[in-house]
């Protein structure tokens, strides 16, 4: 396994268009996370899955954002009717579920950079 | 807020010097992790310290945790130009749920 992969790495779109990002996690990991990061800031939590179940979604996430992980493997993050404020790096990470025996450290992909014109 | 606050926001040192970054937080944690991010790249896990630990070492990294003061520090000894990056603390709360990242320290190590 080569790690977490994200596609596309860069996306430029016009305001109002829809965009979709894909994340392929490390195959043994059943947790998958999405974060958003703007310039000079730390990653901001968006949502996470355990297998195919979406367990938490940030209140910062508007109804224009939706994430899926249909078979508990890859995940997609869709942004509808994009706005300039959506411009950011979208980071995907995967891990084993944290427990007393497992630290649950996150393994990140290289991110998908979105620019909304 | 569950987010960690890091200090300083930016740090500029010479090669060979030590770099210390601090992270303060407000919630109860299960563990605290440090990550590194090179410009425009994903984050890489560096080291983790559990709430019942006070100090851990990994190579040139030393992390401390003071749960009474709700603070942690990351020390990089004998820094190198290749250590230039942003460093983030991340909190895992006692419910083992999401990892919440701090605001980051941007480290510049000059040759």
Does position A1 have pLDDT exceeding 60, yes or no? no
Residue of B nearest to A56 (CA): B98
Average pLDDT, chain B: 93
Chain center to CA of A52 = 14
- Counted across chains A and B, CB pairs separated by less than 8 A come out at 60
Q: Across the interface, do A103 and B100 touch by the CB < 8 Å criterion?
A: no
A33 CB near a chain B CB, below 8 Å? yes
Check B101 against A35: CB less than 8 A apart. Answer: yes
| pLDDT cut 90: percent of chain A above it | 77
Across the interface, do A111 and B41 touch by the CB < 8 Å criterion? yes
* pLDDT-based confidence at residue A104 (cuts at 50, 70, 90): confident
pLDDT confidence bin for B94, thresholds 50/70/90? confident
Neighbouring CB atoms inside 10 A of A47's CB total 21
Q: Which residues are CB-neighbours of B49 under 8 A, at least 6 positions away?
A: B31, B32, B33, B55, B56, B63, B64, B65, B72
Per-residue pLDDT reduced to its tens digit, B26-70: 988 889 999 999 998 899 999 999 999 999 999 999 999 999 999
């Amino acid at each position: 396994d080569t790690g977490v992969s994200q596609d596309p790495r860069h996306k430029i779109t016009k305001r109002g268009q829809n965009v979709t990002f894909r994340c392929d996690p490390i195959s043994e990991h059943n947790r998958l996370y999405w974060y958003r990061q703007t310039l000079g800031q730390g990653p901001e939590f968006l949502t996470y899955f355990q297998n195919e179940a979406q367990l938490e979604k940030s209140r910062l996430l508007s109804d224009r954002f939706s994430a899926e992980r249909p078979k508990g493997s890859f995940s997609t993050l869709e942004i509808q009717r994009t706005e300039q404020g959506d411009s950011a790096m979208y980071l995907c990470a995967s891990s084993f579920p944290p427990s007393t025996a497992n630290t649950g450290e996150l393994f990140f992909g290289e991110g998908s950079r979105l620019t909304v014109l | 807020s569950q987010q960690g606050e890091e200090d300083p926001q930016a740090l500029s040192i010479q090669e060979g010097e030590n770099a210390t970054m601090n992270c303060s937080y407000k919630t109860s944690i299960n563990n605290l992790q440090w990550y590194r991010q090179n410009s425009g790249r994903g984050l890489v896990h560096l080291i983790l310290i559990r709430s019942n630990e006070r100090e851990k070492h990994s190579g040139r990294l030393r992390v401390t945790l003071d749960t009474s003061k709700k603070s942690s520090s990351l020390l990089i000894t004998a820094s190198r130009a290749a250590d230039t990056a942003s460093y983030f603390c991340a909190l895992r709360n006692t419910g083992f749920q999401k990892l919440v990242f701090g605001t980051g320290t941007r480290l510049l190590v000059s040759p």
